[in-house]
Amino acid sequence: MSQTANTPVTSIRNIGPAMEQTLRRIGITSAEALRDLGADAAYRRMLENGSRPHFIAYYALVMALQGRPWNDCKGKEKADLRVAFDALVSGGHDKGRSELEAALNIIGVVERRD
């Protein structure tokens, strides 16, 4: 981990107040902790703790950790990130739901379970 472990996550490009609140809720309170964990592990933790899957939020987080604007993701890179996102989403964060309920939850049709 970096020597300074208290840099706000909002110091990272693309990380605003809403994402900061989500990250804080899952125990990520510094930019260093987020960088150490990485985008996939952080997003997986978000899903496991009740965040709704949202592709733009995922790839914005990936871009943020690369120091790039969120909308810099295009073409094959975006398609590849979609594959990674789909794999994260299908990773079982909706345990206890039927396949249909899990699919409906992905698109925001059923209530989130705590």
**Tens of pLDDT along 45-62?**
999 898 899 999 999 999
Per-residue confidence (pLDDT) for residue 109, from 0 to 100: 61
DSSP state at residue 15: -
CA-to-CA separations, 73 to 3, 58, 61, 78, in angstroms, rounded: 30, 11, 11, 5
Confidence tier at 90 by pLDDT (50, 70, 90):
confident
CA-to-CA separations, 74 to 4, 55, 56, 60, 86, in angstroms, rounded: 33, 13, 12, 12, 17
What predicted TM-score, i.e. pTM, was given to this entire model? 0.74
Q: Classify domain 9-106 at the CATH class level.
A: mainly alpha
Q: Mind listing the pLDDT tens digit for each residue in 4-37? A: 579 999 999 999 999 999 999 999 999 999 999 9
pLDDT averaged over every residue in the chain? 84
CA-to-CA separations, 5 to 1, 8, 36, in angstroms, rounded: 7, 9, 11
Q: Mind listing the pLDDT tens digit for each residue in 2-13? A: 445 799 999 999
